[in-house]
Chains A and B, each alone.
Chain A
Amino acid sequence: MKIRLFSPLSEKLGFKEKEIHLAAPIKIKDIELLSKVQLEDYLISKNKKEVVKPDAEVCDQDELWLLPIVDGG
């Protein structure tokens, strides 16, 4: 699966985009790569069309974006 981060989280974790392999579906909060991230502080978008919670399940085909919680002007 693909994980996309935005600044400054991308700077904190040292990558903007990374592909990881998931052998089986897993909860977002259990993804090791994101273990140091306070997931509740981000808007998590799944496959660019659905906003999900940290305990949502994802599989190898999915794409996750961790976005800042900002609602515009």
Chain B
Amino acid sequence: MIKLETRFYGYAGKILEVDLEDERFKSTPLNNRWVELYVGGGGYATRILYDLIDETIDPLSPENPLIVMTGPFTGLAAISPKTAVATRSPLTGFLAKSMSSGSFGTVLKRSGYDGVIIRGKAKTPVFISIINNKPSVLDAKSLWGKGTFETSKLIKEELKSSKVKVAMIGPAGENLVKISSIITDERRAFGRTGVGAVMGSKNLKGIAVSGNLKIPVLDEKKLIELNKRHLFIAPTTSRGGGLKAYGTGGGIISGMQVGNLPIKNWTLGVWEGAEKITTQTFMEKYKLGSGMKVCGENVTCSIQCERAIEMNDPEYGRSKGKGPEYETLAALGSMTLVDDIEGIIRANDLCDDLGLDTISTGVVVSWAMEAYEKGMLDASDTGFSLRWGDVGSLIRIIRMIAYREGFGATLSDGVKAASEKVGRGSESFAVHVKGLEVPMHNPRLYNTMGVLYAVSNIGASHLQGMGVLVERGLLLPEYGIDSIPKDIASKTRTELIQQSLCAFADSAGLCKFGVFGVIDFNHIAETFNAITGRSEDKNSVLKIGDRIWYLERMLNGKLGLKTEDDRLPERFVKEAVKEGPAAGFVCPIEELLPEFYRARELDPVSGQPSAQKLKELELDI
């Protein structure tokens, strides 16, 4: 490996700017002050966006930058493979931030860049290649229209290297589907907020990276020691051990038992089918005792939550590779009442190949099934019957969404736009926040999730504050959360700390599965210091997270956010399920939100922080 000359420990030290209009490149050194304040990843990318966009920039126009950004932990610390993509979301109109695991970010850093800022629109389809500090724009006309599985193979062939890592779009992104994702060659996804459509709007098929530059760290010996400790502890914890044993998908059956699992677009509390689709079932069926694997080639992780599947089904054909995770099993399974595990595996493969977000896809399809059941839609609207549990319809409509065909075109803009188009009262069961479809954790029972969804800077996301974990007993004693929050004040405190820690994790490159319930933030701060030479502790890490959260909020203010956008879907507030552990519960959001605004010191009308708060956090930009 070649040792990289850099001013920053833990970073490659520079960002590549690409203008696709005239295929120009510019290499910019990292901004010292921004690294100090926003770390990298999501935080640094949001700071770049703050200067580049405003409310007048159409998310699908050449002027909207697409930013890929790693953090100092990415590829250096244990269980830290995360990379951020940030832009203005075509789905919500606000900040789009989506995190992916796998090797892509690590290899991007080793290619010589911490991040890439892409602007403009290529005249014809292209892909960007960055090989050991050398960027180029290459023709992708022959790749346009192809799925991500084939695209990744063809790019590796063209670049004559199997070591190349690729982040790319499928037909959904090309067709500007607003629930489209950017998928990596390891089948990890920058899944949420419609980032695939932004890549597609630039005529950009993907980014391929390769490199063997060594990123310097300040104290390598100390880092090795800390990494070893983290890797040893992780699988010995109940959270890490559970993920290692079953992957996230093991949470389907236990999720139903604790009232977390969404069923039939959040209208049921118990469903016999859960047992058929939970990971334990396909582990037994496909003898996956040792089916766990890491999420990418260069990822150092002792949890290894991915479940590799090899299926050869007479009806659905062959599937080899990453199996569906909890969010996907719930979105495409329990939400739609599809209990055919092979069918869900096929639907998951299709979403990854076509480049669709499985969460948003499952939510918008289950909304359509409910509208169909209620007679708000019929076969003359949809082209065929769209009934609960019909796996054939699910697979058919996924293709139609990706290609914007027939009724698929209505669903391709997400559940908010689809329900507004169909009307007839269907808006009341369109489950989204700010236009982003709600993930698979129940805010009626786990109230912190209600607030965290409602006020999230990217729309409903379970990864911008994992309050459900705390409410399930994965506490944060190092921050004084040493019992399950029951009253409003302790719930609010949990929400704030979770938000800030998630903002920090997204900026550093940490995987949240390797932290919450696994290792404390004293360890994380020590690791941060060993990599970068900073002098942080758990409290200063929390403060950095606070700053990044407010920065995201400020950017959204610039993009037109108002407090009325911080709403939770009616379904969680007014309707309870009748059976199961969540029976009778609704989320008391009207009681919880004012306390959140008060604690975050946000103006109740504008939803923005005061000038004094911004100064305190050095955000007086």
Is B36 among interface residues, defined by CB-CB distance under 8 A? Answer: no
Contact B257 A45, beta carbon cutoff 8 Å: yes
Is the CB of B270 closer than 8 A to any CB of chain A? yes
Interface segment out of the listed A20-28, A29-37, A47-55: A47-55
Given A6-B253, A48-B257, A51-B258, also A70-B248 (CB < 8 A): yes
Chain A CB within 8 A of B178 CB: no
Provide the residues of chain A in CB contact with B580, threshold 8 Å. 48-49
The 6 closest A-B pairs by CB, nearest first: A72-B251, A72-B326, A70-B250, A73-B248, A45-B257, A70-B242
A8 on interface, CB distance cutoff 8 Å: yes
From the candidates B238, B325, B472, B581, name the one contacting A50 in the complex (CB within 8 A). B581
Question: Contact: B270 with A68, CB < 8 Å?
Answer: no
9 examples of A-B residue contacts, CB within 8 angstroms: A8-B245, A48-B270, A49-B257, A51-B258, A69-B241, A71-B255, A71-B469, A72-B255, A72-B260
A: residues with CB less than 8 A from B are 6-8, 10-11, 41, 43, 45, 48-51, 65, 67-73
SS class, residues of chain B in contact with chain A: helix
Q: Which residue of chain A is the closest to B274 with respect to CB atoms?
A: A48
Among candidates A6, A8, A49, A70, residue contacting B251 with C-beta atoms closer than 8 Å: A70
Expressed in whole angstroms, the Cα–Cα distance for A12 and B250 within the complex equals: 18
Q: How far is the CB of A42 from chain B (nearest CB, A)?
A: 9
Instruction: State which of A11, A50, A67 has its C-beta within 8 Å of the C-beta of B253.
Output: A67
User: Within 8 Å CB of A50, what residues of B?
Assistant: 581
Question: Cα distance A68–B462 when bound, in Å?
Answer: 21
Q: Beta-carbon contacts of B230-256 to A below 8 Å, as 1s and 0s?
A: 000000001101110111111111111
A7-B283, A41-B238, A70-B242 known; 18 other A-B pairs, CB under 8 Å?
A: A6-B278, A6-B280, A7-B289, A8-B289, A41-B241, A48-B270, A48-B580, A49-B580, A50-B581, A67-B257, A68-B246, A70-B245, A70-B254, A71-B251, A71-B260, A72-B252, A72-B440, A73-B327
Q: State in angstroms the CA–CA spacing of A13 and B445 once bound together.
A: 34
Residues of B near A6 (CB, < 8 A) are: 253, 278, 280
Across the interface, name the chain B residue whose C-beta is closest to A44.
B257
Chain A residues, CB < 8 A from B238? 41, 69
Q: Tell me whether B468 is interfacial, beta carbon within 8 Å.
A: yes
Number of A-B contacts (CB under 8 A): 86
Once bound together, how far apart are the Cα atoms of A7 and B326, in whole Å?
A: 17
Tell me if B441 is interfacial: C-beta within 8 Å of chain A. Answer: yes
- For A10, give the chain B residue with the smallest CB separation: B284
B540 CB to nearest A CB, Å: 29
Cβ contact of B441, chosen from A10, A48, A68, A72, cutoff 8 A: A72
Contact present for A68 and B330 (CB under 8 Å): no
With contact pairs A49-B581, A72-B326 given, residues A65 and B251 touching in the complex (Cβ less than 8 Å): no
Given contacts A7-B280, A51-B258, contact A68 B245 (CB under 8 A): yes
Q: A73 with B462: in contact, given A7-B280, A41-B238 (CB under 8 Å)?
A: yes
Q: What 1/0 flags go to B572-593 for Cβ under 8 Å of A? A: 0000000111000000000000
Q: Which chain A residues lie closer than 8 Å to B289 at the CB level? A: 7-8, 11
| Docked pose: A6 CA to B282 CA in angstroms | 11
For B250, the closest partner residue in chain A by CB is A70
Contacts of A8 in B (CB 8 A): 245, 289
Shortest CB–CB separation between residue A57 and chain B, in angstroms? Answer: 18
Q: Please, which residues of chain A bring their CB within 8 A of the CB of B248?
A: 70, 72-73
Q: B256: which A residues are within 8 A, CB to CB?
A: 48
Which residues 156-170 of B have a CB within 8 angstroms of A? none
User: Is A70 touching B246 in the complex (CB atoms < 8 A)?
Assistant: yes
- Complex CA gap A71/B468 in Å reads 9
Mark out the residues of chain B between 385 and 431 whose CB falls within 8 Å of any chain A CB in the assembled complex. Answer: none
Determine the residue in chain A with the shortest Cβ distance to B288. Answer: A7
Residues of chain B lying within 8 A (CB to CB) of residue A68? 242, 245-246, 250, 254, 280
What residues on A are CB-neighbors of B260 within 8 Å? 71-72
Q: How far is the CA of A51 from the CA of B255 in the complex (A)?
A: 11
B257 — which chain A residues lie within 8 A by C-beta?
43, 45, 48-49, 51, 65, 67
Chain A hits for B246, CB < 8 A: 68, 70
B270 touches A69 (CB 8 A): no
Neighbouring B residues of A48 by C-beta, 8 Å: 256-257, 270, 580
Within the assembled complex, what's the spacing in Å between the Cα atoms of A68 and B255?
A: 10
Expressed in whole angstroms, the Cα–Cα distance for A68 and B580 within the complex equals: 19
For B472, list chain A residues within 8 Å (CB): 71
Instruction: Give Cα distance in the complex from A69 to B257, angstroms.
Output: 11
Least Cβ–Cβ distance between A56 and chain B, in angstroms: 14
B270: chain A residues at CB < 8 Å are: 48-49
Q: Which residue of B is nearest A5, CB measured?
A: B280
A7, A43, A50, most chain B CB atoms within 10 A: A7
Chain B residues whose C-beta falls within 8 Å of the C-beta of A11 in the assembled complex? 289
Roughly how many angstroms separate A17 CA and B242 CA in the complex, as a whole number? 21
**Residues A51 and B250 in contact in the complex (CB < 8 Å), given A69-B238, A70-B243, A71-B469:** no
